[in-house]
Structure 1
Amino acid sequence: MSFSLSMKVSPEAAALLQSKFGGHPGFIRLAYDNEGCGCSLSGAIALWIVDKAEASDLSVSSDSGLDFIVNRSDAVYFDERLSITISGFDKTSVRLASDGQSYGSSIPIQDRRTEAQIRA
């Protein structure tokens, strides 16, 4: 099965996401985080800044110039066309949505890069 995801990013959300990199390289991973949930269907959508893409990752096309990735096994949880805007609740998180649904209105951005990579 083939997936083709695309991400539309508002200018404000792009600026927030870019600021999280701190001038260091990385990717923004769209994740379906079910760690500690006890069931693969009881997860939460997350955005993680990571060091590198893995062999099982798919690239997500974006109009922002930011590098988005998603693990092939997580891609099934997302619609093909996604959008990110600044959260209406707090200006340090984002809202992820598609035409059909909202994945979260206050998704935090977690930096999961290793300290060595951030200092490089």
Structure 2
Amino acid sequence: MEITITAEAAGKINERTENREGYLKLKYDTDGCGCAVNGVIALWHVTELDDTDIAIETNDRTVYVEKSKMVFFDEQMKIDFSKATNCFQLKSPGQILNGHMSLILKEKTD
């Protein structure tokens, strides 16, 4: 799997995660979607990784993906930021996987 992060997206990620330690994760979120194959791809900033997270090196930083959810992603993807919609976007050469993706800051819970 190959992920590229545009300069616009990298700048917004830095701005929104400033002074926060953690990891950038592409999450296939199925909460409230009915079943495991119905989900929405989200961009999370997490303080801890799961044992099943796989590291994907990008042109900007490491992005993590759950191993069991890799089937829902394309082989080549780009994380971009749209100023027009003020949202992140996840694209591949053949499709837009999520055109209105927020960066969700997940805090550690005990």
Quick check: TM above 0.5?
yes
2:8 counterpart letter in structure 1: E
What root-mean-square deviation, in Å, do the aligned CA atoms of Structure 1 and Structure 2 show? 1.7
Q: Is the 8 A contact 1:30 1:68 kept in 2?
A: yes
**Partner Cα distance (1:12, 1:110) in 2:** 17
C-alpha deviations, 1:28-52, integer Å up to 9, x for none?
Answer: 1111111111111221111110012
Give unpaired runs (5+ residues) of structure 1. Answer: none
Aligned counterpart, 2:36: 40
SS of 2:17 mapped into structure 1: coil
Give the corresponding residue for 1:105.
99
Moved over 4 A (4+): none
Alignment partner of 1:87 is 2:82? yes
Q: Among residues 22, 25, 32, which one is paired with 1:26 in the alignment? A: 22
Q: Which of the pair is proportionally richer in strand?
A: 2
Q: Say whether residues 1:53 and 2:49 are aligned partners.
A: yes
User: Structure 2 regions of 5+ residues with no counterpart?
Assistant: none
TM-score after normalising by structure 1: 0.83
| 1:77 counterpart residue number | 72
| Cα pair 2:48 2:108 within 8 Å, conserved | no
In 1: Cα distance, 2:72 partner to 2:46 partner: 20
Q: Write the letter of the residue equivalent to 2:67.
A: R
Q: Deviations over 1:41-94 (max 9, x none)?
A: 221111110012221010011001x23100101111001211011125422x21
Question: What is the CA–CA distance in structure 2 between the aligned matches of 1:113 and 1:81, rounded to whole Å?
Answer: 29
TM-score (norm 2): 0.90
